[in-house]
Structure 1
Amino acid sequence: MSTDDRRTRLAEAAIDIIATRGIRALTHRALDTALDLPTGSSSYYFNSRRALLAGVTGRIVERSRADFAAARIEPPAARAAFDSDSIARHIAEWVDRMLTERGNHLIARQALLTELHTEPELRAQLAQSLFSIERARELLHTISSDPHTAAADFVAVLEGVVFDRFTGNRSQLAPGSAASVDQITNVLSVYLTAR
């Protein structure tokens, strides 16, 4: 196993610890125990708590970029071609897939955004990792007179949807279901139609 593979394995285990037991439970010892490694193994790859948190941040960002690239949400060429309901459904299916396949990543990301308030560089990486304001601006430029503001607002709506599904009123709604996709679609469609 390469060094990069080991770091990825450690980062994934750290994400699971944060998501299931909380940010304070993440220690080198807990990570070694979770992976049944000799004591001190994880500190060889991440020699401090900050290095460990940076490794987790890097893994979440890396995976988010790969997922975002795979989503292939293309902006329409003209306002007449902008179908709010269809675009909302496509984005909702992508968000629901993230909720289903990367739930621990999303929970850990939320915890880290709060924890890293004294680490602006890491926090900025996480804040910009899940949704792209630039891509949202491309998507909304045909229907908004102020695509920059509309894009930032749309990303805020998406962030709110994800947060709500883990800790809010809709935390009982199971991802991976038609009801889940419909709920997200409805929220996004209302926003897009109002533009």
Structure 2
Amino acid sequence: MTTSTPDRRTLIVDSAIDLIASRGLRALTHRALDTALELPAGSTSYYFRTKRALIEAIVDRITTRSRTDFATGQADLAAPTGAPGTFTDSAPDRLAAGIAGWLDRLLAQRRNHLIARHALIIELLGDAEMHDKLASSLFSHRHATTLFETLGASDPATAAADFIAVLEGLVFDRFAGARTGLVPGTAKSVNQLATVLAAQFRAIS
């Protein structure tokens, strides 16, 4: 059975993400991908003529997957029910637990995406369009602002930006920082994330 063109392109892009995660951005070449996928020489360059085209496809892949995951797990990010601006004693813990579960799944299922994204964010600092697209690919400032409006923050936009900075720090700490040994998919992993997030929510209660 032959592989269709869209499937072949996706296979190459996914392999490129894994290659960046395991060997670094400098290792990303058309030849390396052909070798990794056991494809005839020149196959990757047939689908992606330049390295730039390949990187654009990687950014699109990470962004699209993130949107899909966000839509699937959006219930985890919802504010506790109640009138806007209300924040009961249990709300920070419940909200933090939901978001921590979502982050934990991200760490468990998309570690290579996280590593590749971080490498590319640095690489693309001088490319405003690509950098901004990648930088906003995991966490939505618009949705975070809506969340903090619901929670009654005095400055929802700033609270959202600060919260996203915390989320970025939490995931980096887990895939490349001091807590890489903390295994996602465990109660200890979720609790570590939830503890930090709950403190953030209590600060606005």
Give the TM bin, normalised by the shorter chain. over 0.9
SS at 1:10 equivalent: helix
Q: 1:15 — aligned with what?
A: 17
The 1-side partners of 2:43 and 2:11 are apart by: 12
The residue number in structure 1 matching 2:105 is 97
| Match 2:84 to one of 75, 78, 83 | 78
What TM-score, normalized by structure 2, do the two folds share? 0.91
Which residue of 2 is the match for residue 106 of structure 1?
A: 114
The residue type paired with residue 179 of structure 2 is: R
Partner of 2:51: 49
**Number of equivalenced pairs:** 195
Q: Which residue of 1 aligns with 2:31?
A: 29
How many Å apart are 1:121 and its aligned residue? Answer: 1.3
CA distance in 2, matches of 1:145, 1:98: 30
CA RMSD of aligned residues (A): 1.2
User: What secondary structure does 1:172 align onto?
Assistant: coil
Q: Is the 8 A contact 2:148 2:159 kept in 1?
A: yes
**Unaligned residue ranges in structure 1 (runs of 5+):** none
Question: 1:81 Cα shift?
Answer: 5.2
1:4-34 deviation line (CA, Å, top 9, x unaligned): 2221111100000000111100100001111
Deviations for 1:103-149, whole angstroms, at most 9, x for unmatched residues? Answer: 10111111111111222211111101000111111111132010000
Which residue of 2 is the match for residue 166 of structure 1?
Answer: 175
Q: Which one has the largest radius of gyration?
A: 2
Length-normalised TM-score, structure 1: 0.96
* Matched-pair contact (CA < 8 Å) for 1:75–1:138: no
User: Going by fraction, where is helix more abundant, 1 or 2?
Assistant: 1
